[in-house]
Amino acid sequence: MLFTFEADFVDSLRCIPMQVRFKLDTCGIKLKLIQWHQFSQKERQILVDLSCANAEEIVTYRELLRYWVLKYSDEPAIDLSIDPNPVWFEIGQIPLEVQTQLTEHKAALDLSDWVKMTPLQRFALIKLSRSDHENHNLLPALAEFKLGLK
């Protein structure tokens, strides 16, 4: 699933879509944008389409990424630790960074809304709420997810 708020680069896949970023965190590989650009359009699309949901798929996804990164950059991929309990699977509370950004954008999100969201949607809001991230897509994401503004 590619999000509508990513529409300005989704057709060309010039940036790493949230769906792929979600899979990168799931499989524990750091992928730099420069490495992403070295992949062919077909390879990028494979990374969008390829499932990374169970243990076997995660290994397959990670190994494919390792292979392509090494093939194109002559450097091994950087492994990241995999969080056994990622915050986007937590439904008991909305992360503080998300709450802070929502307040700054005069937006609101109830816990009941957070619970109804998919892990990928929660992941996107968390990533879009990081202080080191351009969060101009936060409000479009909220609108796409049919979440309310104050």
Helix (H, G, I), strand (E, B) or coil at 30: strand
What is the residue range of 9's domain? Answer: 4-79
- Confidence grade of residue 113 (pLDDT, cut at 50, 70, 90): very high
Kindly state whether residue 150 falls inside one of the protein's structural domains.
no
Give the number of residues written for the chain: 150
| Residues 13 and 53 placed together within one structural domain of the fold | yes
Q: Which residues pair with 29 in a beta bridge?
A: 79
91 shares a domain with 64? no
- Would you say residue 33 has pLDDT above 80? yes
Of 63, 79, 95, which closes a domain? Answer: 79
- The whole-angstrom separation of Cα 87 and Cα 102 is 17
3-state secondary structure of 146: coil
Task: Count the domains in the chain.
Answer: 2
Let me know: does 72 contact 39? Beta carbons within 8 Å: yes
Find tokens 């896949």 and name the residue: 13
Q: Both 68 and 99 in a single domain?
A: no
Q: How many CA atoms lie within 13 A of 93 on its CB side?
A: 4
User: Does residue 73 share a domain with residue 8?
Assistant: yes
- Decide if pLDDT at 95 tops 70: yes
Q: pTM for the full model? A: 0.91
Q: Examine the pLDDT at 134 and tell me if it is beyond 80.
A: no
Q: What is the pLDDT of residue 131?
A: 64
